[in-house]
Amino acid sequence: MKLVIINIKQLLNVRKETRILRGKELAELPVLENAYLVIEDGVISEYGLMQDLSINMKSTSIVDAEGQFVLPTWCDSHTHLVFAASRENEFVDKIKGLSYQEIAAKGGGILNSAKAVQEASEESLFNSAFIRLNELIQLGTGAIEIKSGYGLTVEAELKMLRVIKRIKERSPIPVRSTFLAAHTYPAEFIHDHQGYLDLIIHEMLPVIAIENLADYIDVFCEEGFFNPEETMAVCRAGMKYGLKAKIHANQFSGGAVTVGTNVNAISVDHLETIDEKEIEILAASNTIGTLLPTAAFFLRMPFQPARKLIDAGCAIALASDYNPGSSPSGNMNLVASMSCIQMKMLPEEVINAATINAAYAMGLGETTGSITVGKTANLIFTKPIPSLAYLTYAFGNNLIDKVMIRGNFINE
């Protein structure tokens, strides 16, 4: 099936070929004004200016995008989409004055989510996550990474990963799976860290490898959670099975970026507390720094120093961190606006960071994240808007008219 989209006011992020963008490159967003786009069998096959359109329209469907901006769908490279229950009681506790760490120390936080996941059936976890996934697609997310990490027993971690595998098989958008058993120590291993590390390394990883349940391995490298040595041990064990590292780093304290770059992590995520020294280390590495502004917002933390990171030459991606504890929203439009408003990123930088760089931050840069011939036609069609900047300026407004996944509009 051939589909031609005509009269596109602006076609955003048009690239002949792609690679990870760093530093100043992030501000360069290639745009075609008054453009057309051709899609064949769900894949982008051609684009150009309307004045150069010379296509035989026979047996071709035409979509008139008069006044609309068309851009690649958001790529959300960090989520905890599979969970059994929301945690608004902790939200209220935080309003009353408790900190994230105090709630965790009381057996709340991640342990609270783990209890609910351990008790939930695979079926119910799949159903609730699949509903969330479809809600996110309507909001313009066209590729997603999903982590385990709310299981924390051999059985429940494998259950979560099998749920993610099912989502992967049934999802219309590409899904990447990350193994995060090293999210926190379960209560029974608080004084026996090695015991839990042994479970991860000797009981969970071999099964994950046999059933092909994960693409990445993640660790919450943080004071009170996994220290640098423990993080390194888990990452190295995962890497033996071909799982690249993707680390929760520098959310509350420093050091994890250094660990991440040492294990050649594909990304280090969070970075609320990254300092000048670790910014330099990140800039000199191949690792992508993924900023999660809605988590900082929700936890009332300082926002990530996006300007310093970009000015130092780092490769930056943006993601939602969708999870019940620190970011109960997976809305990438909100992430995009917040990045401009609170982190002083330019709208162009935000679009690049939340599309092409985020695609690379989950190993999907060759198939999604830009308007490039051969890439999947996962696209956002905006409502009529006056300019590119309006997209991130008018925060909280629904500016998406339609979302296309693999060449089909999903909400028609």
Nearer to Fe ion, 120 or 292 (CB): 292
Site map (CB under 6 A) of ligand NIG, residues 326-365, x = contact? x---------------------------------------
- 210 residue type, one letter: I
Checking 153-156 for CB contacts under 8 A at 24+ apart, the result is: 153/118, 153/186, 154/199, 154/203, 154/204, 154/207, 155/118, 156/114, 156/117, 156/118
Size of the site for ligand NIG (CB under 6 A): 12
Decide: 76 and 357 in contact? Cβ < 8 Å: no
Would you say 70 and 64 are in contact if contact means Cβ atoms under 8 Å apart?
no
Instruction: Report if residue 272 touches ligand NIG, rule: CB under 6 A.
Output: no
Q: List the x/- string, 251-270, binding to ligand NIG by CB under 6 A.
A: x-------------------
- 321 contacts Fe ion (rule: CB under 5 A): yes
Please give the Cα distance from 112 to 58 (Å, whole number): 59
Say which amino acid occupies 318: L
Binding-site size for Fe ion (CB under 5 A) equals 1
Which residues in the 118-147 window bind ligand NIG by CB under 6 A?
none
Min dist. Cβ of residue 218 to Fe ion (A):
8
Examine residue 90 and tell whether it contacts Fe ion (CB under 5 A). Answer: no
Our CB check for Fe ion shows the closer of 90 and 321 to be 321
Q: Does residue 309 sit in helix, strand or coil? A: helix
157 binds ligand NIG (CB under 6 A): no
110 binding partner (options Fe ion, ligand NIG, none; Cβ < 5 to 8 Å by kind): ligand NIG
- Dihedral sign for Cα atoms in the order 261, 266, 270, 272: positive
Distances (CA, A) of 60 to 19, 39, 40, 55: 32, 10, 10, 9
- Quick note: the x/- pattern for ligand NIG over 284-313, rule CB under 6 A, is -----------x------------------
Q: Which residue has the tokens 């780092």?
A: 314
| Helix-strand-coil split of the chain, %, nearest 5 | 40, 25, 40
Q: Which does 363 bind (CB under 5 to 8 A by kind): ligand NIG, Fe ion, none?
A: none
Helix or strand run (H / E) with residue 190: none
Residues 321, 332, 369, 372: which binds ligand NIG (CB under 6 A)?
A: 321
Which residues make up the interface to ligand NIG (CB under 6 A)? Answer: 109-110, 113, 220, 248, 251, 295, 321, 323-326
Which residues make up the interface to Fe ion (CB under 5 A)? Answer: 321
